[in-house]
Amino acid sequence: MEIASGTVAYLANLSRLHFNEDEQAVITDELQQMLAFVEKLQELDTTGVEPLMHMGDAVNVLREDKVAGSVTRAEALKNAPVHDEQFFKVPKVIRK
């Protein structure tokens, strides 16, 4: 599969990224290498190979959830650069 510059431009637009032509050429080449690797993996015969849920045999290695002390709202907001009485205030990042 060949990656076209239009595909990179489309993906950049979806990601809200901006690339100059040199950067776009590098990204096109890197995406092409990734696709070539995936295509190479698809050549492997995987008949009889069971799908893996995890790479190891360990089961449930996560800690048990326990209720513990927490920070009060006032303590959490104390060092925030901008806040009101209840919430952190952050700049808007998604514009439409």
Domain coordinates in residue numbering, the chain: 5-41
State the architecture of 5-41 in CATH terms: Orthogonal Bundle (1.10)
Q: Which residues of the chain have pLDDT under 70?
A: none
Instruction: Please name the amino acid found at residue 93.
Output: V
pLDDT at position 30: 93
Say how far apart CA 20 and CA 18 lie, in whole Å: 7
Distances (CA, A) of 69 to 56, 62, 79: 33, 20, 19
Question: Does this model's pTM top 0.85?
Answer: no
pLDDT at position 26: 92
pLDDT at position 10: 92
